[in-house]
Structure 1
Amino acid sequence: MLDSGDCIRSGNIGIPLRPEPAWDWMRQAGYDAITIGNREFHITAGGFLAKTRGAPCPLLCANIRPKQPETPLPVQPVWQTVHQGVRVAVIGLTVPMVTPRMKTAPLSAYLFDSPIETAKLWVPRLRPEADLLIALTHIGVSQDRLLAEACPELDLILGGHSHTPINPPEQVNGVWMSQSPPFCKGATLLTLTRSGAHWELSASDRV
C-alpha cells in the first residue's frame, strides 16, 4: 500500500508537539511506503523530524538534499521489495518547495532539485533491478505527464498534490498514471498483469 503525501494535518510551517495521529492510522492500515508532500516537509531540521516522527514505513523523496552533510534527512530516495517473486522499486518525487533561486533558500536546511531531472538520473539505474518500477509522486498531474514523457522506462506513476483523481488510469507514453481522491476520500486498487517486458492494467477499483 502506497501513499503520495500530505498525510498529516500540520501546516507547511507548523511544528507538531506530538506525533501525528495519521501515522498510527496508516500503521494499522499496513502502508508500505509514503512519498512526502508539502505538509510533511519543514524548512528546519527540527521541524522536519518532528513532522515525520512516528511514520509507519519508509518516507520517500529522491529530489531533496540537506545543505549541510550533518543535517539529518528523515527520507530515503527509493524503496525496494520483492512481492510474490516480483522485484518492485518505488522512487519518491516531491514538488520542489525550496530551490536555490528562492528567497527562502537561505532560511532552509534543505533544497529540492527538479523531480523530473532527478528521475532521469535514477530510473536508468533502477530499471535493471526492478520488474515493476513505480514513481510515487507529489508533483501534480501535469508534471506527472511530463515525467511519463521523460522517463518511458517507468511502469506506473501514482500521483498526488494536484487533487486530480484519475480513474480509470490513463496511459502516457506507455506509462500508466493514476491518482486517488484527496483527503482520504478514496483509495485505488490497481491490478497489473505482466505481458513480456511490460505491464497491462487488468483492473482499477476505487474503494
Structure 2
Amino acid sequence: MQIEIRGNHFLLLTQRAIFWQETQTLLIGDLHLGKITHFRKEGIAIPNNAAGNNFERLDEIVKNTGATRIIFLGDLFHNKYNSEWETFRAWRAQHHYIEMIIVIGNHDILPVSLFLESDMQVYQTDYEEEDFIFTHHPKVELDGSKFVFAGHVHPVFTTYGRGRQSLRLPCFVVDNHQAILPSFGVFTGGFQMDLAEERKIYITTETRVFSVC
C-alpha cells in the first residue's frame, strides 16, 4: 500500500514498517527486543521461534526494499540488558552498510554507549529531516509545519463480521499531520484505535495492507 505525504511516497509494509522511497529509508517502531527473553526468565511460556521472528522479518524487509537506512522510532530494546542484545549486535554487524538512527523511547533504558558502539546515531527526543519529524511518543499538539511519524501506542483496529465474529489486527493510523506505526515486535500487545474525522486507518495482515473505509 503506497501513500503520499508532503510530495513523498511511503510504502506501508505487511511486516508493520514503512518504507520512505525517496530516501530508501525504513521506519520501524517498537521492536521491544529482549521482551521475549525477559518473559521466559519470569516463567512465561513463549514459542521457541518467537525471538527469531523479529530478525527474520527485519532481514526480509531489508532484502525486499534495498533500504540503505533505518530509523527506529523508539523502544528498540524492551528493558534491561539480556542476551537478545547480543543477537541484535550481531545482526547489526551483518548489516554494517546500512545507516541506522534511533530515537530513544521510554523502554530504551540501556546505556547510550551500547547503541553508539553498534554504530547507531542516537537522538534523545526528535529527529527532524526535510518536512518530517521522527519521534517515539505521538504529538498531542501539532502546528502542521512538519509531518510527524511516531510509535509507542501499538495501534490495533477491530473488524467485525456477521454475528459476533471479530478480528483485532495491527494498523497504521494516518491523520492530517501525523502517522502512528504499529508495533514491529511480536508479543507487544496493542491499543484499540477508532475511526475519526480526517483519519485513515490501514490494517495489516501477513499478506496484505488495506484501508478501512
- TM-score of the aligned structures, taking structure 1 as reference length: 0.42
Q: Which structure ranks higher in relative contact order (CA pairs < 8 Å, sequence separation ≥ 6)?
A: 2
- TM-score of the aligned structures, taking structure 2 as reference length: 0.42
